[in-house]
Amino acid sequence: MASDIIDPTRRDFVMIASAAFAGIGGAASLWPLIDQMNPDASAEALASIEVDLEPLGEGQAITVLWRGKPVFIRHRTPEEVSMAKKVDINALPDPEAQNTELPEDAPATDKNRTKEGHEKWLVVVGICTHLGCIPKGQGLTDQKGEYGGWFCPCHGSHYDTSGRIRKGPAPDNLAVPPYKFLNDTKIKIG
């Protein structure tokens, strides 16, 4: 009878084994429960889009939707381009190019934020890097902020004609998405 035989080692083994079973099992089932909330396969599918730039006159801009995010495409005037080039990089709040196709520490020159030979085109993700509002400045009559680019009305961030943050609470320049020119008037984003 069990009453007179006490076997601490066997009982300890059963205790430790079942605690380990519950512990490891619990921990292992935690990850699927957390990960199910991450972007799913359909959101991950790297949808790419092609945009025809032909109809865009100088000074005009359009917004296209890529991966659920607005992308600003602006046909900059020569003055806007030269304004963007003149800026002293070291004086910028964010001196990094924020171009997904360049190394992280690439400086925020206008050259690093556009494509060689297509400097008049600026393509950036149109989401304020502060808390995610859509800055104003796409429409011809929009308020464009103190630096002629975009102005975010939510908490007052000003971006310049290269989409770089100049003033206000936003920490980073508007991001440059991955894109390439298929020919002079057509780009593929993504």
Q: Among other proteins, ligand FES, none, what does residue 157 contact (CB within 5–8 Å per kind)?
A: ligand FES
Separation between Cα atoms, residue 59 and residue 125, nearest integer Å: 18
Binding mask 145-174 for ligand FES (x = CB under 6 A): -------x-xxxx----------xxx----
Q: Which of 156, 150, 155 is nearest to 173 (CA)?
A: 150
Q: Among other proteins, ligand FES, none, what does residue 46 contact (CB within 5–8 Å per kind)?
A: none
Catalytic residue numbers, as ranges: 155
Mark the segment that binds ligand FES (CB under 6 A) among 54-62, 63-71, 129-137, 176-184: 129-137
Separation between Cα atoms, residue 89 and residue 55, nearest integer Å: 33
**Cβ closest to ligand FES, residue 173 vs residue 187:** 173
DSSP string of 81-123, one letter each residue = HHHHHHS-GGGSS--B--BTTS-TT-B--TGGGS-TT-TTEEE
Amino acid at 84: A
Asked whether position 30 contacts other proteins by CB under 8 A, the answer is no
Where do contacts with other proteins occur on this chain (CB under 8 A)? 34, 37-40, 43, 63, 65, 67-70, 130-134, 152-156, 169-171
